[in-house]
Structure 1
Amino acid sequence: MTATEKHSLIEDAQGIAFGVSMASFGVLILTHLGFVTGQTAGLAILISYATGWGFGPVFFAVNLPFYWLGYKRMGLRFMIKTFVAVASLSVLTTILPSHIAFATLTPVVGAILFGFVTGAALMALFRHGSSLGGIGILALYIQEKTGFRAGWTQLLFDGALFIVAPGLRDLPTVAYSFLGALVVNLVIAINHRKDRYIAT
Protein backbone atom coordinates (compact mmCIF):
# COMPACT_ATOMS: atom_id res chain seq x y z
CA MET A 1 0.00 0.00 0.00
CA THR A 2 1.14 3.55 -0.66
CA ALA A 3 1.28 6.20 2.03
CA THR A 4 -1.91 7.82 0.67
CA GLU A 5 -4.05 4.70 1.06
CA LYS A 6 -6.03 4.39 4.29
CA HIS A 7 -8.27 1.72 5.69
CA SER A 8 -11.96 2.45 5.36
CA LEU A 9 -14.27 2.41 8.37
CA ILE A 10 -15.58 -1.02 7.31
CA GLU A 11 -12.04 -2.37 6.95
CA ASP A 12 -11.09 -1.03 10.38
CA ALA A 13 -14.22 -2.49 11.95
CA GLN A 14 -13.56 -5.91 10.40
CA GLY A 15 -9.88 -5.87 11.32
CA ILE A 16 -10.51 -4.86 14.92
CA ALA A 17 -13.37 -7.36 15.26
CA PHE A 18 -11.07 -10.12 13.99
CA GLY A 19 -8.26 -9.06 16.33
CA VAL A 20 -10.52 -8.88 19.38
CA SER A 21 -12.13 -12.25 18.59
CA MET A 22 -8.81 -14.04 18.13
CA ALA A 23 -7.35 -12.40 21.24
CA SER A 24 -10.38 -13.49 23.26
CA PHE A 25 -9.91 -17.05 22.03
CA GLY A 26 -6.27 -16.81 23.06
CA VAL A 27 -7.28 -15.72 26.57
CA LEU A 28 -9.67 -18.68 26.72
CA ILE A 29 -6.80 -21.06 25.93
CA LEU A 30 -4.57 -19.31 28.44
CA THR A 31 -6.99 -19.42 31.35
CA HIS A 32 -8.15 -22.96 30.56
CA LEU A 33 -4.58 -24.19 31.00
CA GLY A 34 -3.88 -21.91 33.97
CA PHE A 35 -1.07 -20.15 32.10
CA VAL A 36 0.27 -16.68 32.67
CA THR A 37 1.46 -14.21 30.08
CA GLY A 38 3.07 -10.81 29.79
CA GLN A 39 1.90 -7.24 29.22
CA THR A 40 -1.25 -5.86 30.82
CA ALA A 41 -3.15 -9.03 29.93
CA GLY A 42 -0.68 -10.98 32.06
CA LEU A 43 -1.11 -8.63 34.97
CA ALA A 44 -4.89 -8.89 34.67
CA ILE A 45 -4.72 -12.69 34.55
CA LEU A 46 -2.53 -12.86 37.65
CA ILE A 47 -4.90 -10.55 39.51
CA SER A 48 -7.82 -12.69 38.33
CA TYR A 49 -6.13 -15.90 39.58
CA ALA A 50 -5.27 -14.32 42.92
CA THR A 51 -8.65 -12.72 43.61
CA GLY A 52 -11.18 -14.78 41.69
CA TRP A 53 -12.37 -11.64 39.91
CA GLY A 54 -13.29 -12.00 36.24
CA PHE A 55 -10.54 -11.34 33.71
CA GLY A 56 -12.67 -8.96 31.63
CA PRO A 57 -13.34 -6.27 34.26
CA VAL A 58 -9.80 -6.51 35.63
CA PHE A 59 -8.28 -6.16 32.15
CA PHE A 60 -10.42 -3.11 31.45
CA ALA A 61 -9.38 -1.46 34.74
CA VAL A 62 -5.67 -2.25 34.35
CA ASN A 63 -5.59 -0.52 30.98
CA LEU A 64 -7.15 2.76 32.14
CA PRO A 65 -3.85 4.51 33.03
CA PHE A 66 -2.42 3.91 29.55
CA TYR A 67 -5.03 5.78 27.51
CA TRP A 68 -3.44 9.14 28.21
CA LEU A 69 -0.15 7.94 26.70
CA GLY A 70 -2.08 6.54 23.76
CA TYR A 71 -3.77 9.90 23.21
CA LYS A 72 -0.67 12.06 23.72
CA ARG A 73 1.73 9.91 21.71
CA MET A 74 -0.39 8.12 19.11
CA GLY A 75 -3.36 10.44 18.66
CA LEU A 76 -7.07 10.51 19.41
CA ARG A 77 -7.97 8.05 16.64
CA PHE A 78 -5.55 5.42 17.98
CA MET A 79 -6.78 5.95 21.54
CA ILE A 80 -10.44 5.57 20.56
CA LYS A 81 -9.77 2.41 18.54
CA THR A 82 -7.75 0.97 21.42
CA PHE A 83 -10.47 1.78 23.93
CA VAL A 84 -13.02 0.03 21.71
CA ALA A 85 -10.74 -3.01 21.35
CA VAL A 86 -10.07 -3.28 25.09
CA ALA A 87 -13.72 -2.81 26.02
CA SER A 88 -14.80 -5.39 23.42
CA LEU A 89 -12.22 -7.89 24.64
CA SER A 90 -13.36 -7.36 28.23
CA VAL A 91 -16.93 -8.20 27.23
CA LEU A 92 -16.12 -11.07 24.86
CA THR A 93 -13.82 -12.87 27.31
CA THR A 94 -16.72 -12.86 29.77
CA ILE A 95 -19.14 -14.36 27.25
CA LEU A 96 -16.92 -16.79 25.32
CA PRO A 97 -16.39 -19.46 28.04
CA SER A 98 -20.09 -20.34 27.95
CA HIS A 99 -19.81 -21.11 24.23
CA ILE A 100 -16.46 -22.95 23.95
CA ALA A 101 -15.05 -25.84 25.98
CA PHE A 102 -11.95 -28.00 25.49
CA ALA A 103 -12.14 -31.77 25.90
CA THR A 104 -8.40 -32.17 25.30
CA LEU A 105 -5.73 -29.49 25.08
CA THR A 106 -2.16 -30.40 25.98
CA PRO A 107 0.07 -27.68 27.44
CA VAL A 108 2.60 -27.63 24.59
CA VAL A 109 -0.05 -27.46 21.87
CA GLY A 110 -2.04 -24.94 23.89
CA ALA A 111 1.00 -22.70 24.37
CA ILE A 112 1.89 -22.70 20.67
CA LEU A 113 -1.72 -22.25 19.56
CA PHE A 114 -2.16 -19.39 22.03
CA GLY A 115 0.99 -17.77 20.65
CA PHE A 116 -0.05 -17.95 17.00
CA VAL A 117 -3.67 -16.94 17.62
CA THR A 118 -2.73 -14.01 19.84
CA GLY A 119 0.10 -12.93 17.54
CA ALA A 120 -2.32 -12.83 14.60
CA ALA A 121 -4.81 -10.90 16.75
CA LEU A 122 -2.28 -8.25 17.70
CA MET A 123 -1.03 -7.95 14.12
CA ALA A 124 -4.59 -7.25 12.95
CA LEU A 125 -5.11 -4.64 15.66
CA PHE A 126 -1.76 -2.93 15.02
CA ARG A 127 -2.39 -2.78 11.28
CA HIS A 128 -5.73 -1.09 11.88
CA GLY A 129 -4.29 1.57 14.17
CA SER A 130 -5.29 -0.08 17.43
CA SER A 131 -3.86 -2.19 20.23
CA LEU A 132 -4.94 -3.97 23.39
CA GLY A 133 -3.66 -1.12 25.49
CA GLY A 134 -1.00 -1.08 28.16
CA ILE A 135 2.46 -2.16 27.06
CA GLY A 136 1.19 -2.50 23.50
CA ILE A 137 0.73 1.29 23.39
CA LEU A 138 4.20 1.87 24.80
CA ALA A 139 5.75 -0.68 22.43
CA LEU A 140 4.13 0.90 19.37
CA TYR A 141 5.22 4.36 20.49
CA ILE A 142 8.83 3.21 20.87
CA GLN A 143 8.72 1.58 17.43
CA GLU A 144 7.31 4.73 15.85
CA LYS A 145 10.01 6.92 17.44
CA THR A 146 13.09 4.70 17.32
CA GLY A 147 12.41 1.81 14.95
CA PHE A 148 12.93 -0.69 17.77
CA ARG A 149 10.44 -3.47 17.03
CA ALA A 150 7.27 -3.53 19.14
CA GLY A 151 7.61 -7.27 19.64
CA TRP A 152 11.05 -6.93 21.21
CA THR A 153 9.83 -4.27 23.65
CA GLN A 154 6.96 -6.51 24.68
CA LEU A 155 9.30 -9.50 25.00
CA LEU A 156 11.55 -7.55 27.39
CA PHE A 157 8.57 -6.59 29.53
CA ASP A 158 7.31 -10.16 29.49
CA GLY A 159 10.71 -11.38 30.61
CA ALA A 160 10.53 -9.15 33.67
CA LEU A 161 7.08 -10.48 34.51
CA PHE A 162 8.20 -14.09 34.16
CA ILE A 163 11.03 -13.49 36.62
CA VAL A 164 8.41 -13.09 39.36
CA ALA A 165 5.91 -15.61 37.95
CA PRO A 166 7.43 -18.70 39.68
CA GLY A 167 6.33 -17.24 42.99
CA LEU A 168 2.73 -17.36 41.79
CA ARG A 169 2.52 -20.49 39.60
CA ASP A 170 4.38 -23.81 39.47
CA LEU A 171 7.50 -24.03 37.30
CA PRO A 172 6.10 -26.30 34.53
CA THR A 173 3.15 -23.92 34.08
CA VAL A 174 5.51 -20.95 33.94
CA ALA A 175 7.68 -22.74 31.36
CA TYR A 176 4.71 -23.48 29.09
CA SER A 177 3.47 -19.94 29.61
CA PHE A 178 6.82 -18.53 28.56
CA LEU A 179 6.71 -20.62 25.38
CA GLY A 180 3.34 -19.10 24.51
CA ALA A 181 4.55 -15.55 25.20
CA LEU A 182 7.68 -16.18 23.14
CA VAL A 183 5.63 -17.32 20.14
CA VAL A 184 3.37 -14.24 20.41
CA ASN A 185 6.25 -11.82 20.43
CA LEU A 186 8.23 -13.57 17.69
CA VAL A 187 5.17 -13.37 15.43
CA ILE A 188 4.97 -9.62 16.05
CA ALA A 189 8.71 -8.95 15.90
CA ILE A 190 9.16 -10.80 12.60
CA ASN A 191 5.98 -9.67 10.85
CA HIS A 192 5.06 -6.20 12.13
CA ARG A 193 7.16 -3.94 9.91
CA LYS A 194 6.04 -0.45 9.05
CA ASP A 195 8.07 -0.44 5.83
CA ARG A 196 6.00 -3.36 4.55
CA TYR A 197 2.57 -2.25 5.71
CA ILE A 198 1.93 1.44 6.23
CA ALA A 199 -1.83 1.93 5.83
CA THR A 200 -3.62 3.05 9.01
Structure 2
Amino acid sequence: MTDATHHTPLEDAQGIAYGAGMAAFAIVMLTHLGFVTGQTAGLAVLISYATGWGFGPVFFAINLPFYWLGYRRMGWVFTLKTFAAVALVSVLSTLMPQWVSFTYLNPGLGAVMIGFMSGAALLALFRHGASLGGVGIVALYLQDRTGFRAGWTQLIFDACLFSVALALREWHTVAWSFLGALVLNLVIAMNHRRDRYIAA
Protein backbone atom coordinates (compact mmCIF):
# COMPACT_ATOMS: atom_id res chain seq x y z
CA MET A 1 0.00 0.00 0.00
CA THR A 2 1.34 3.45 -0.94
CA ASP A 3 2.04 5.93 1.86
CA ALA A 4 -0.26 8.85 1.12
CA THR A 5 2.03 11.31 2.90
CA HIS A 6 5.03 10.86 0.60
CA HIS A 7 5.76 10.82 -3.09
CA THR A 8 7.27 7.75 -4.69
CA PRO A 9 10.72 8.08 -6.34
CA LEU A 10 9.04 7.97 -9.75
CA GLU A 11 6.65 10.77 -8.76
CA ASP A 12 9.58 12.83 -7.48
CA ALA A 13 11.50 12.27 -10.71
CA GLN A 14 8.49 13.33 -12.78
CA GLY A 15 7.86 16.40 -10.62
CA ILE A 16 11.48 17.53 -10.74
CA ALA A 17 11.66 16.95 -14.51
CA TYR A 18 8.45 18.94 -15.01
CA GLY A 19 9.64 21.79 -12.77
CA ALA A 20 13.07 21.96 -14.36
CA GLY A 21 11.61 21.83 -17.87
CA MET A 22 9.16 24.65 -17.18
CA ALA A 23 11.87 26.74 -15.50
CA ALA A 24 14.25 26.25 -18.41
CA PHE A 25 11.62 27.23 -20.98
CA ALA A 26 10.78 30.34 -18.93
CA ILE A 27 14.49 31.25 -18.96
CA VAL A 28 14.61 30.85 -22.75
CA MET A 29 11.66 33.26 -23.09
CA LEU A 30 13.15 35.64 -20.53
CA THR A 31 16.57 35.86 -22.17
CA HIS A 32 15.00 36.16 -25.64
CA LEU A 33 13.22 39.29 -24.42
CA GLY A 34 16.30 40.56 -22.58
CA PHE A 35 14.47 40.49 -19.26
CA VAL A 36 15.87 39.86 -15.81
CA THR A 37 14.43 38.03 -12.83
CA GLY A 38 15.09 37.63 -9.12
CA GLN A 39 17.00 35.25 -6.88
CA THR A 40 19.92 33.10 -8.04
CA ALA A 41 18.55 32.72 -11.56
CA GLY A 42 18.42 36.50 -11.85
CA LEU A 43 22.04 36.82 -10.78
CA ALA A 44 23.03 34.22 -13.36
CA VAL A 45 21.07 36.08 -16.06
CA LEU A 46 22.79 39.38 -15.25
CA ILE A 47 26.23 37.75 -15.28
CA SER A 48 25.34 36.13 -18.60
CA TYR A 49 24.32 39.49 -20.10
CA ALA A 50 27.42 41.26 -18.77
CA THR A 51 29.96 38.62 -19.82
CA GLY A 52 28.41 36.82 -22.79
CA TRP A 53 28.74 33.50 -20.96
CA GLY A 54 25.84 31.07 -21.29
CA PHE A 55 23.16 31.12 -18.59
CA GLY A 56 23.30 27.36 -18.01
CA PRO A 57 26.95 27.05 -16.97
CA VAL A 58 26.78 30.27 -14.91
CA PHE A 59 23.64 29.14 -13.09
CA PHE A 60 25.17 25.73 -12.34
CA ALA A 61 28.42 27.26 -11.05
CA ILE A 62 26.73 29.90 -8.89
CA ASN A 63 24.75 27.24 -7.05
CA LEU A 64 27.76 25.07 -6.14
CA PRO A 65 28.70 26.91 -2.91
CA PHE A 66 25.16 26.70 -1.57
CA TYR A 67 24.76 22.92 -1.42
CA TRP A 68 26.60 22.62 1.88
CA LEU A 69 24.15 25.05 3.47
CA GLY A 70 21.30 23.13 1.87
CA TYR A 71 22.59 19.92 3.41
CA ARG A 72 22.97 21.58 6.83
CA ARG A 73 19.51 23.19 6.69
CA MET A 74 17.37 20.66 4.80
CA GLY A 75 19.27 17.36 4.68
CA TRP A 76 20.90 15.30 1.98
CA VAL A 77 17.66 14.27 0.19
CA PHE A 78 16.67 17.90 -0.39
CA THR A 79 20.23 18.73 -1.46
CA LEU A 80 20.43 15.90 -4.00
CA LYS A 81 17.03 16.77 -5.45
CA THR A 82 18.00 20.43 -5.69
CA PHE A 83 21.30 19.53 -7.36
CA ALA A 84 19.38 17.44 -9.90
CA ALA A 85 16.90 20.26 -10.56
CA VAL A 86 19.64 22.88 -10.99
CA ALA A 87 21.67 20.61 -13.26
CA LEU A 88 18.62 19.84 -15.40
CA VAL A 89 17.68 23.53 -15.72
CA SER A 90 21.29 24.32 -16.66
CA VAL A 91 21.37 21.66 -19.38
CA LEU A 92 17.89 22.29 -20.77
CA SER A 93 18.27 26.08 -20.87
CA THR A 94 21.45 25.56 -22.91
CA LEU A 95 19.83 23.11 -25.35
CA MET A 96 16.37 24.62 -25.76
CA PRO A 97 17.40 27.62 -27.92
CA GLN A 98 18.40 25.03 -30.54
CA TRP A 99 14.90 23.55 -30.42
CA VAL A 100 12.65 26.62 -30.29
CA SER A 101 12.80 30.22 -31.48
CA PHE A 102 10.45 33.19 -31.47
CA THR A 103 9.69 35.36 -34.48
CA TYR A 104 7.73 37.77 -32.30
CA LEU A 105 6.93 37.70 -28.59
CA ASN A 106 4.97 40.56 -27.06
CA PRO A 107 6.84 41.73 -23.94
CA GLY A 108 3.68 42.09 -21.84
CA LEU A 109 2.44 38.61 -22.68
CA GLY A 110 5.98 37.29 -22.30
CA ALA A 111 6.34 38.79 -18.82
CA VAL A 112 3.05 37.27 -17.62
CA MET A 113 3.74 33.86 -19.15
CA ILE A 114 7.28 33.82 -17.74
CA GLY A 115 5.80 34.52 -14.31
CA PHE A 116 3.17 31.79 -14.68
CA MET A 117 5.65 29.19 -15.94
CA SER A 118 8.29 30.02 -13.35
CA GLY A 119 5.68 29.88 -10.60
CA ALA A 120 4.40 26.50 -11.80
CA ALA A 121 7.99 25.25 -12.02
CA LEU A 122 8.84 26.30 -8.46
CA LEU A 123 5.59 24.90 -7.07
CA ALA A 124 6.38 21.53 -8.62
CA LEU A 125 9.92 21.56 -7.24
CA PHE A 126 8.80 22.67 -3.76
CA ARG A 127 6.12 19.99 -3.66
CA HIS A 128 8.69 17.32 -4.49
CA GLY A 129 11.22 18.49 -1.92
CA ALA A 130 13.58 20.44 -4.17
CA SER A 131 14.37 24.04 -5.09
CA LEU A 132 16.54 25.99 -7.49
CA GLY A 133 19.05 26.57 -4.70
CA GLY A 134 21.08 29.65 -4.04
CA VAL A 135 19.61 32.65 -2.29
CA GLY A 136 16.61 30.78 -0.90
CA ILE A 137 18.90 28.38 0.95
CA VAL A 138 20.96 31.24 2.39
CA ALA A 139 17.78 33.03 3.45
CA LEU A 140 16.55 29.98 5.36
CA TYR A 141 19.98 29.45 6.93
CA LEU A 142 20.15 33.06 8.12
CA GLN A 143 16.64 32.79 9.50
CA ASP A 144 17.67 29.76 11.54
CA ARG A 145 20.87 31.39 12.80
CA THR A 146 19.72 34.97 13.41
CA GLY A 147 15.92 35.03 13.31
CA PHE A 148 15.95 37.45 10.36
CA ARG A 149 13.01 36.44 8.18
CA ALA A 150 13.89 34.57 4.99
CA GLY A 151 11.39 36.58 2.97
CA TRP A 152 13.15 39.83 3.87
CA THR A 153 16.54 38.45 2.85
CA GLN A 154 15.14 37.44 -0.53
CA LEU A 155 13.40 40.80 -0.96
CA ILE A 156 16.59 42.74 -0.17
CA PHE A 157 18.59 40.59 -2.60
CA ASP A 158 16.04 41.09 -5.37
CA ALA A 159 15.91 44.86 -4.75
CA CYS A 160 19.70 45.00 -5.17
CA LEU A 161 19.51 42.78 -8.26
CA PHE A 162 16.91 44.95 -10.00
CA SER A 163 18.88 48.08 -9.08
CA VAL A 164 21.93 46.64 -10.84
CA ALA A 165 19.71 45.62 -13.76
CA LEU A 166 18.70 49.28 -14.22
CA ALA A 167 22.34 50.09 -14.86
CA LEU A 168 22.68 47.33 -17.46
CA ARG A 169 19.29 47.21 -19.19
CA GLU A 170 16.80 49.80 -20.45
CA TRP A 171 14.25 50.94 -17.87
CA HIS A 172 11.23 49.60 -19.76
CA THR A 173 12.88 46.16 -20.03
CA VAL A 174 13.39 46.17 -16.26
CA ALA A 175 9.77 47.29 -15.80
CA TRP A 176 8.47 44.34 -17.85
CA SER A 177 10.84 42.11 -15.89
CA PHE A 178 9.34 43.40 -12.65
CA LEU A 179 5.86 42.48 -13.92
CA GLY A 180 7.05 38.92 -14.55
CA ALA A 181 8.60 38.74 -11.07
CA LEU A 182 5.36 40.07 -9.55
CA VAL A 183 3.28 37.40 -11.33
CA LEU A 184 5.74 34.72 -10.20
CA ASN A 185 5.55 35.81 -6.56
CA LEU A 186 1.75 36.00 -6.66
CA VAL A 187 1.58 32.45 -8.02
CA ILE A 188 3.81 31.21 -5.17
CA ALA A 189 2.03 33.25 -2.49
CA MET A 190 -1.44 32.06 -3.52
CA ASN A 191 -0.63 28.41 -4.19
CA HIS A 192 2.29 27.30 -2.00
CA ARG A 193 0.46 26.02 1.06
CA ARG A 194 1.55 22.74 2.62
CA ASP A 195 -1.80 22.25 4.36
CA ARG A 196 -3.47 21.91 0.95
CA TYR A 197 -1.12 19.19 -0.24
CA ILE A 198 -2.10 15.56 0.01
CA ALA A 199 1.52 14.46 -0.37
CA ALA A 200 4.57 15.92 1.29
Question: TM over 0.5, yes or no?
Answer: yes
Q: State the TM-score, normalizing by the size of structure 1.
A: 0.90
Q: Give 1:93's aligned amino acid.
A: S
Q: Which residue of 2 aligns with 1:122?
A: 122
Query: Displacement of 1:139 after TM fit?
Result: 5.1
Q: Is the 8 A contact 2:139 2:154 kept in 1?
A: yes
Q: Which residue of 2 aligns with 1:24?
A: 24
Q: Give 2:42's aligned amino acid.
A: G
Q: Deviations over 1:82-122 (max 9, x none)?
A: 00000111111110000011122111110000000000000
RMSD: 2.3
Q: Which residue of 2 aligns with 1:62?
A: 62
Q: Give 1:195's aligned amino acid.
A: D
Among the aligned pairs, what percent are the same residue? Answer: 66
Q: Which residue of 2 aligns with 1:171?
A: 171
Q: Which residue of 1 aligns with 2:196?
A: 196
Q: Is the 8 A contact 2:37 2:181 kept in 1?
A: yes
- Residue pairs, 1:24-103, within 5 angstroms: 24-103=24-103
Q: Give 2:106's aligned amino acid.
A: T
Could you say if the C-alpha distance between residues 134 and 198 of structure 1 is closer, same or farther in structure 2, counting changes exceeding 3 Å?
Answer: farther
Which deviates further from its counterpart, 184-193 or 134-143? Answer: 134-143
Q: Is the 8 A contact 2:19 2:122 kept in 1?
A: yes
Aligned length: 196
Q: Which runs of 5+ in 1 are unaligned?
A: none
Query: Displacement of 1:162 after TM fit?
Result: 1.1
Q: Give 1:196's aligned amino acid.
A: R
Query: Displacement of 1:195 after TM fit?
Result: 2.0
Quick one: distance in 2 between partners of 1:158 and 1:30? 16
Q: Which residue of 1 aligns with 2:111?
A: 111
Q: Which runs of 5+ in 2 are unaligned?
A: none
